[in-house]
Amino acid sequence: MTHEQQVMNWIDEHQEEIITFLQQLIQIPSVNPWFFDEPAPSKEKELQQLISSKLEGLGAEIEMWEPDSDELKQYEGMAGYYPGRDFTGRPNLAGTFGKGTAGKSLLLFGHIDVVMAGSKWSVDPFEGTIIDGKMYGRGTVDMKGGVAAMIMAVEAVLRSGLKLKGPVVVGTVVDEEAGGMGALDFIHHGYRTDACILTEPTSLTIAPLCRGILWGKIRIQGRSGHIEMPQADWKDGGAVDAIKKARVILEAFDRLNERWAATKTHPYLSIPCQVHVAQLNAGEYPTSFANEAEIVFNAQYLPRERDEKLVGGNVKKELIEFIRETAMQDPWLSEHLPEIEWMVDADCAETDVAHPFVQTCVQSLKSVGEEGIIEGLGFHTDMGWPVNVGIPTINFGPGDPSLAHHSDEFIPLEELIQAVKMIAKTTIDWCGVEEA
């Protein structure tokens, strides 16, 4: 029997253990405290302690530490840095297997924080209820399914009586759901490997890139006046409807999106980058023209568009200039320029599909009976920092990413088992194994 067969047999025989471990992760509600109006004790530490004891039981060397935002000041203006963020009781964790061995090394990487459960669940969001071969719960997809899969893959290799020829680091971080400072801190802490699988949900496809995301807020000034009365020209003190002026910007965005649809594409992404308007806020009461209007938008960008700080500065400049040019064509807006406030810049990254690690992952996926599809992710993940320091990284994990953050979030258990097999097979082929 080959080493691969030993490991695959172990996984088939221990499916219940794999499923139970994911349930244990779901049952600790490690909701990121950013989602609470009032400060609430985070359960992220409790979850990290569970993972730590699991890894320690498998023979890992454990390091657990709390990020310190003051230590990360050198990253100001870069992805994941937020001044003054408090990580008390919110540790990062690294478990290293095969430290000092000569083979190629692998980082299995994931975040353990989740968004709050929200409403309209038909089951308890923190139970891990199983119905018709699917496990329901907050975090099953994003991304405790992936975290469970990567840890159980290492267990499968070791419990099959094999020893790693190259080091494997299991890294679990906090704070991805509120900006990615945990991943930044993990890389700052010095962990480096020859490759990385970030186990975000991909419906079992190989995703060697993710897009960057900008959130912005445009404030457009008007001048209120009685909505039912005739108005003088604005130069003579007449009212100006901020909603009407907002339409100037909105219509301009339609034209910009046509251009972006042709130019901001990527062969591994099914949709181009666009500026999507997410919120419109305007007006005070029904008898007055709106004094101010606010457009909140989400714009995506590609790895090739990153600036010198490896984030979206170039695209910010492009949008600022576009809005300025649009405003200059309107007499009122040219004298009352709209203001832009940037809310979020979530970074992106890409690994060349020709890289031997990406190809190893594709072959591993095919060997467990999947097609081995390569497809990029339209949303942000934590892959930026590993790639920034030279670690070839793919996203791969069980679960449909479109179900992340939903009520009744669920993962097909068959996908969970397939993910364990793929990650175990990649570990065998990339790091090498021998009889213990």
- pLDDT tens string 74-104: 999 999 999 999 999 999 999 999 999 999 9
DSSP state of 365: H
- pLDDT tens string 18-31: 999 999 999 999 99
Strands ordered across the beta sheet of 129-131? 129-131, 134-136, 410-412
Query: What integer is the mean pLDDT of 330-336?
Result: 97
Whether 39 shows a pLDDT value over 70: the answer reads no
- The answer to whether the beta carbons of residues 94 and 169 sit under 8 Å apart is yes
Please name the residues in contact with 54: beta carbons below 8 A apart, sequence gap of 6 or more.
21, 151, 155
Going from the C-alpha of 374 to that of each of 8, 155, 377, the distances in angstroms are 23, 27, 10
- The answer to whether the beta carbons of residues 213 and 380 sit under 8 Å apart is yes
- Residue 212, helix vs strand vs coil: strand
Whether 38 shows a pLDDT value over 90: the answer reads no
Backbone torsions φ then ψ of 311, nearest 5 degrees: -130, -160
Name beta bridge partners: 136.
129, 410
N-terminal to C-terminal alpha carbon distance within the chain: 15
DSSP 117-174: --S--SS-TTT-EEETTEEESTTIIIIIHHHHHHHHHHHHHHHTTEEESS-EEEEEES
Maximal CA-CA distance, the chain: 89
Taking alpha carbons only, the member of 374, 344, 354 closest to residue 270 is 374
pLDDT at 218: 98
pLDDT at 35: 85
Percent of the chain with pLDDT over 70: 100
- pLDDT tens string 292-309: 999 999 999 999 999 999
Peptide bond connecting 152 to the previous residue in cis, omega within 30 degrees of 0: no
Percent of the chain with pLDDT over 90: 94
Q: Which residue has the tokens 């996984």?
A: 11
E strands present in 273-392: 275-282, 292-301, 339-346, 349-350
Taking alpha carbons only, the member of 127, 124, 121 closest to residue 23 is 127
- Rounded Cα distance between 75 and 188, Å, is 10
Query: What integer is the mean pLDDT of 227-256?
Result: 94
- Rounded Cα distance between 405 and 383, Å, is 20
Whether 132 shows a pLDDT value over 70: the answer reads yes
Whether 179 shows a pLDDT value over 90: the answer reads no
- pLDDT tens string 112-121: 999 999 899 9
- The answer to whether the beta carbons of residues 220 and 241 sit under 8 Å apart is no
Q: Provide the pLDDT confidence category of residue 151 given band limits of 50, 70 and 90.
A: very high
pLDDT at 13: 98
- Supply angle C-alpha 46, 50, 53, rounded to 5: 135
pLDDT at 403: 93
- pLDDT tens string 101-111: 999 999 999 99
Please name the residues in contact with 423: beta carbons below 8 A apart, sequence gap of 6 or more.
108, 149, 150, 153, 197, 199, 364, 396
Q: Provide the pLDDT confidence category of residue 436 given band limits of 50, 70 and 90.
A: confident
Average pLDDT taken over every residue of the chain: 96
- The answer to whether the beta carbons of residues 352 and 267 sit under 8 Å apart is no
Q: Provide the pLDDT confidence category of residue 1 given band limits of 50, 70 and 90.
A: confident
Tokens of 344: 């979020």
Whether 261 shows a pLDDT value over 90: the answer reads yes
Please name the residues in contact with 346: beta carbons below 8 A apart, sequence gap of 6 or more.
79, 179, 180, 212, 213, 214, 380
